[in-house]
Structure 1
Amino acid sequence: MLPPTANLFADLPPLGRPDEEVRDLLAGRAVRIERIVSTGQASPPGFWYDQPWDEWVVLLAGAARLRVAGETEARLLGPGDHLLIPAHARHRVEWTDPETPSIWLAVHCRPEP
């Protein structure tokens, strides 16, 4: 029996909550897919993600600025924008739209040897 159909845009958290909502959609040994909903959150000052896995991320709705270490400008992302963040590429979320939920789909996978 298959699980019920779900919708990535359903059950969104309210605007103004203190933390992002991160929900695993699929988790396995080699891959994890999650929906992230940002409602104005950003990475703490001075904090950088430095993950031991590759991450492909797509912004489905909203707007965000993502900074990658070594780049002079933050990347402004809108619906449909996506990128692959290789393992150990330091990055941070500098801003997400506080007026509209920013809905991300993130695919985490082990880097190729």
Structure 2
Amino acid sequence: MTGPLKPARNSGNLFDLVAQLGTTPEEQVDALVERGGVTIERIVSTGQASPPGFWYDSPRAEWVVLLTGAAMLEFDGDPEPHRMKPGDHVLIEAHCRHRVAWTSDTEPSVWLAVHYP
């Protein structure tokens, strides 16, 4: 038997968009959990893309799922872009160079990203 349940100390709603969407050129990135080398983020994109010639090259793996909106990822060495719609997810291994080629500018693209060693 276990003790009484502890109340939630850190809760929220992934679809509550705190920032004024469309008023900043930056994506909104919120770290939801950071524990033991694992980071879980909510990312809200509204038409943002990686700068030309820029590639992410992280020492950690990343699993990402698109919850709303639409997006397109590019992977270094892969000539075919990876189009994403709600529910699509992808595992990006550590040091796999990738970039965000496009996100919808007509609706928020809400991502859930899990970074881990």
Which amino acid letter does the alignment assign opposite residue 102 of structure 2? W
RMSD of aligned C-alpha atoms?
A: 1.2
CA distance in 2, matches of 1:16, 1:93: 20
Aligned length: 110
Q: Is the 8 A contact 1:15 1:100 kept in 2?
A: no
What is the aligned-residue identity percentage? 55
Name which of 6, 9, 13 aligns with 1:3. Answer: 9
How far apart are 1:30 and its partner, in Å?
Answer: 1.9
Structure 1 gaps of 5+ residues are none
1:73-112 aligned within 5 A: 73-110=80-117
CA distance in 1, matches of 2:93, 2:10: 33
Partner of 2:57, secondary structure, is coil
TM-score (norm. length: structure 2): 0.89
1:20-99 aligned within 5 A: 20-99=27-106
Structure 2 gaps of 5+ residues are 1-6
CA distance in 1, matches of 2:54, 2:31: 23
CA distance in 1, matches of 2:14, 2:22: 17
CA distance in 2, matches of 1:100, 1:37: 10
TM-score (norm. length: structure 1): 0.92
* Greater radius of gyration (CA): 2
